[in-house]
């Protein structure tokens, strides 16, 4: 291989004299329809396709055409032949949970096409999860806290964790940290896991939750 490349470099000067600006490959019977915009791009093509074809050497590989770039060959090997397939499908009954994928994008494509994906049924949660992982999502990201401020009192159940309830009140109702801490303290004293405007010490006007307001405007409970 080294001798072939050295020989090619000796003749490259003569080949480069054929360069007349952006053009297609002038190698006899070259099937490529690509337009090369620089001598170096053409040089890479000539060497990898014609002089020393950059082909996959994995036994019995069905892809026999040479690759124009080393990165293209490496990607092919990773996708078609790589034994290290670390991206496993999380569905235990799926064959891909043991065979896996060499690339994450291939795993994501598999999940979209082969498995049912659900949107979390609870309010204020935009998560999408696999059907088989719905229960673990609810256990990990939802608790027993609720919000009854404004339209939220009539909204769909949210089942917040304490931390996510605090974020909700701050984001959707406009409260800052100190009033939120006071509200949560009074909720705990009353053994009530529901945020209410009555738990505020001042008569501060709270912003209404646009999510719950929209749900009720659309006729949903």
Quote the tokens at residue 164.
């996510």
Give tens-digit pLDDT for 69-79: 888 988 888 77
DSSP category for residue 120: -
The predicted pLDDT at position 173 comes to 93
Check if the beta carbon of residue 129 is closer than 8 Å to that of residue 118.
yes
List, for residues 14-49, the tens digit of each pLDDT value. Answer: 667 777 788 888 788 888 888 988 888 888 888 888
Is the pTM above the cut of 0.85?
no
Q: What is the pLDDT of residue 195?
A: 94
Instruction: Quickly tell me which residue has 């007349």 as its tokens.
Output: 20
User: Are 209 and 195 spatial neighbours (Cβ–Cβ below 8 Å)?
Assistant: no
Residue stretches of the chain with pLDDT short of 50: 1-2
User: What 3 state SS string does 182-217 have?
Assistant: HHHHHHHHCCCCEECHHHCCCCCCCCCCHHHHHHHH
DSSP per position, 32-44 = ----B-SHHHHHH
Exposed (0-12), middle (13-18) or buried (19+): which is 45, by Cβ within 10 Å?
buried
Q: How long, in residues, is the chain?
A: 221
pLDDT of residue 86: 75
φ/ψ (deg, to 5) at 201: -80, -25
Partner residues linked to 23 by β-bridges: 36
Domain ranges of the chain: 2-80, 84-115, 141-217
Instruction: Please give the pLDDT value at position 45.
Output: 87
Distance CA 101, CA 64 (A): 23
pLDDT of residue 203: 63
Burial class (CB in 10 A: 0-12, 13-18, 19+), 92: exposed
Those residues whose C-beta lies under 8 Å from the C-beta of residue 52, and which sit 6 or more positions away, are 1, 4, 5, 8
């Amino acid at each position: 291989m080294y001798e072939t490349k050295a020989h090619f470099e000796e003749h490259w000067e003569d080949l480069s004299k054929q360069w007349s600006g952006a053009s297609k490959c002038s190698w006899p019977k070259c099937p490529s329809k690509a337009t090369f915009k620089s001598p170096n791009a053409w040089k890479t093509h000539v060497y990898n396709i014609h002089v020393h074809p950059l082909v996959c050497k994995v036994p019995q590989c069905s892809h026999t055409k040479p690759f124009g770039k080393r990165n293209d060959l490496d990607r092919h090997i990773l996708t078609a032949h790589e034994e290290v397939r670390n991206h496993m499908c999380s569905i235990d009954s799926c064959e891909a949970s043991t065979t896996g994928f060499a690339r994450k994008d291939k795993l994501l494509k598999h999940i979209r096409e082969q498995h049912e994906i659900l949107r979390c049924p609870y309010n204020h949660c935009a998560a999408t999860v696999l059907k088989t992982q719905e229960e673990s999502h609810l256990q990990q990201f939802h608790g027993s806290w609720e919000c009854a401020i404004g339209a939220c009192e009539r909204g769909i159940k949210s089942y917040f964790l304490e931390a996510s309830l605090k974020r909700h009140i701050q984001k959707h109702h406009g409260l800052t940290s100190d009033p939120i801490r006071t509200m949560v303290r009074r909720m705990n004293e009353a053994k009530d896991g529901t945020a209410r405007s009555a738990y505020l010490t001042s008569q501060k006007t709270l912003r209404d939750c646009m999510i719950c307001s929209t749900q009720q405007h659309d006729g949903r409970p």
